[in-house]
Structure 1
């Protein structure tokens, strides 16, 4: 019989690992939380809307085990409240998926109040959430930051979002070097054009389905699969950056 023991590298299991997913009630975050739960991780999520939280937890608990609370990560106290609730539920932390974001457009046409909130969620909360996660992590843990291809395309009309996601790109690069000796891995996933309620009202559900079927738009589950791949590599292997794009450009 052929020996296939060295045909491929070992793929560590996610079973029994404890994970938080910020923005885990809709879109990419929800898809990641569901897949992690299905693979045996115990997950704790947050989102801003009660009905989205209820929907996400119903699905998560169909395939695995999870809990969560409603918070607004644009508020520093809510970041603290989320992690304290996660402590109570998980009893420790092995995986942090930092994902929560809100739409942000061009600087000139955005009010100061909206600008402050968008930066608070799309940039500051990434740093404060990651810091809180690292304070709870031991060797063998993983941080996955969900960024955006906007950091690469840098298209006009989205300068605030571009600023935030370009900042996350640099943050991920520096941070992975800061915590590498602790055996904590940091990876960045930059999604392209992805279907989610984030895209409403410009792209309603029926239009999103059409674009996905034409390979012009990604499904949130595509990013969950990328996250799963990043988290199931040997500890010697750091998949530090993944850019997930549509096969065909958006028309």
Structure 2
């Protein structure tokens, strides 16, 4: 290789996240928390939400060790709580230029789910995704990014999780259409579909000690692995749209 080749020819543009402003739903635990910490550590200012006060306090404590962030407890299944989240985010951030739409709850088989649970789960796992994305996109200027956190469940479509599959398959289709709708506004839309990932989301079937065992055996992902994928999407030049990343375990999980 010619040692005189300038570095600008050796790699693509690598934009900084310093000074960017990110809203992150479900940012208090699991994947959302890992993304919030990584972005804050890269110089972005983050505003997160979650359902549990102790999880919010814990996430903000860690975020503030590496950067700047704030957040609020909300239940995104309720329309007025979506409004409250974005009103609080406006106060802290002003206009966001990153939105990570991530908050979700477990959902199982249709026949095993009560009607109340069905409406709550679909409100959180699908309707709130659309509502939060709409709120974020309407605030964004050119040069902004939306990242939707989906799931490999949209592909595997395993029995026992039909409601969750319905929501995540819907998000997969939504991402494709929204990308086309926002592309001319220079708002990028990326979808990340994680495989089997360790988080409190997996309790009680996979308690902490079991998750550690599976992660060490390369049969479960860490939330930080998904955060790295989000970081990769956000560090691309504007001409480049990384439209989807699927992150799977190297070995098949049990």
* Counterpart pick for 2:238 among 235, 239, 243: 235
Matched with 2:21 is 18
- The one-character-per-residue Cα deviations of 1:200-239 (angstroms, maximum 9, x if unpaired) are 0110101000000000000000000000000110000000
Q: Give SS of 2:47's match.
A: strand
**Shift in Å at residue 157 of structure 1?**
0.3
Matched with 1:226 is 229
Matched with 1:43 is 46
Gaps (5+ residues) in structure 1? none
- The one-character-per-residue Cα deviations of 1:36-74 (angstroms, maximum 9, x if unpaired) are 000000000000000000000000000000000000000
Matched with 1:77 is 80
| CA distance in 2 between partners of 1:191 and 1:6 (Å) | 33
1:105 partnered with 2:108: yes
RMSD, aligned CA = 0.6
| CA distance in 2 between partners of 1:228 and 1:247 (Å) | 20
TM-score, normalised relative to structure 2:
0.98
1:32 partnered with 2:35: yes
* Counterpart pick for 2:184 among 171, 181, 186: 181
Q: How many residues align?
A: 251
Structural mapping, 1:167-206, within 5 Å: 167-206=170-209
- The one-character-per-residue Cα deviations of 1:88-127 (angstroms, maximum 9, x if unpaired) are 0001110000000000000001000000000000000000
Gaps (5+ residues) in structure 2? none
Q: Give SS of 1:44's match.
A: strand
Q: Give SS of 1:173's match.
A: helix
Matched with 1:159 is 162
| CA distance in 2 between partners of 1:144 and 1:4 (Å) | 30
| CA distance in 1 between partners of 2:233 and 2:105 (Å) | 24
1:128 partnered with 2:131: yes
TM-score, normalised relative to structure 1:
0.99
| CA distance in 2 between partners of 1:127 and 1:109 (Å) | 26
TM superposition outliers: structure 1 runs of 4+ over 4 Å = none
**Shift in Å at residue 4 of structure 1?**
2.3
Structural mapping, 1:139-150, within 5 Å: 139-150=142-153
**Shift in Å at residue 5 of structure 1?**
2.1
**Shift in Å at residue 163 of structure 1?**
0.2
